[in-house]
């Protein structure tokens, strides 16, 4: 998948692992469970989406990460502080 966005520079590594890292730094605890025909994405123990298409799942993850990447770093740091406390 190739995503070109000015905001992509705010995602560590500009790849799916970086997107997951950003989300998980904000308490999402994103994980994947793969069955024979589905990829299921969870936030903690709560189901988010499932798809048989890896690119759809990655698009969802990047969409979440990009929606948070537009926030000023000060806001992201405040959210991280709230999560830690």
What mean pLDDT comes out for the span 16-36?
Answer: 92
Q: What is the pLDDT of residues 41-76, one digit of tens each?
A: 999 999 999 999 999 999 999 999 988 888 888 998
Domain ranges of the chain: 11-84
What mean pLDDT comes out for the span 18-46?
Answer: 93
pLDDT number for residue 30: 96
pLDDT number for residue 9: 72
Task: Measure the CA–CA gap between 24 and 4, rounded to whole angstroms.
Answer: 22
pLDDT number for residue 1: 55
pLDDT number for residue 83: 84
Strand 39-43 versus strand 30-34 pairing type: antiparallel
pLDDT number for residue 57: 95
Residue whose structure tokens are 């990009």: 66
């Amino acid at each position: 998948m190739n995503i070109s966005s000015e905001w992509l520079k705010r995602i560590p590594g500009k790849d799916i692992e970086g997107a997951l890292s950003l989300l998980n730094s904000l308490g999402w605890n994103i994980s994947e469970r793969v069955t024979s025909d589905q990829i299921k994405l969870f936030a903690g123990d709560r189901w988010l989406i499932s798809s048989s298409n890896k690119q759809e799942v990655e698009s969802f993850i990047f969409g979440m990460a990009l929606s948070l990447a537009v926030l000023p770093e000060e806001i992201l740091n405040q959210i991280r502080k709230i999560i830690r406390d």
